[in-house]
Structure 1
Amino acid sequence: MSERTVARRYATALYEEADQTGALEAVDDDVLMLRRSLESNRELSRFFESPVIPQGKKEDVVQALLDDRVEPLLVQFLRLLVQKDRETMTKAILDQYQALRDEHRGIVDATVQVARPLTDEDRQALIDALEDRTGQSVRLRVEEEPDLIGGLVVRIGDRVFDGSVRNQLTSLRDRLRDAALSAEANGQAG
Structure 2
Amino acid sequence: MIPGSLARRYARALLQLADTPIQREIFGRDIASFVRVAATHELGKPSLMDVLDSGAYLVAERRAILQKVLERMSLDATVAKFLLFVFERGRIAGVPQIAGQYAEMSDALSGRVHAKLTSARPLPADAVNKIKAALERATGKTILIESAVDPELIGGVVTQVGSVVYDGSLKTQLGNIRNSLRG
| TM-score, scaled relative to structure 2 | 0.85
Report 1:100-139 matches (<5 A).
100-139=105-144
1:174 to 2:165 alignment: no
**Residue type of the partner of 2:96?**
K
Percent identical pairs in the alignment equals: 29
**Residue type of the partner of 1:143?**
A
User: Match for residue 28 of structure 2?
Assistant: 28
1:46 to 2:50 alignment: yes
Post-superposition offset of 1:51: 5.0
CA RMSD of superposed structures (Å): 2.2
Runs of 5+ in structure 2 lacking a partner? 42-46
Q: For 2:53 and 2:158, locate their aligned partners in 1 and report how far apart those are by CA, in whole Å.
A: 34
The answer to whether the 8 A contact 2:28-2:99 is kept is no
Post-superposition offset of 1:38: 5.1
1:74 to 2:79 alignment: yes
Higher RCO (CA 8 Å, separation ≥ 6 residues):
2
Q: For 2:53 and 2:155, locate their aligned partners in 1 and report how far apart those are by CA, in whole Å.
A: 41
Number of residues paired by the alignment? 175
From the CA coordinates, give the structure whose radius of gyration is larger. Answer: 1
| TM-score, scaled relative to structure 1 | 0.82
Q: For 1:104 and 1:161, locate their aligned partners in 2 and report how far apart those are by CA, in whole Å.
A: 24
Q: For 1:63 and 1:96, locate their aligned partners in 2 and report how far apart those are by CA, in whole Å.
A: 24
User: Match for residue 63 of structure 1?
Assistant: 67
Q: For 1:23 and 1:129, locate their aligned partners in 2 and report how far apart those are by CA, in whole Å.
A: 30
User: Match for residue 7 of structure 2?
Assistant: 7
Runs of 5+ in structure 1 lacking a partner? 179-190
Q: For 1:15 and 1:96, locate their aligned partners in 2 and report how far apart those are by CA, in whole Å.
A: 10
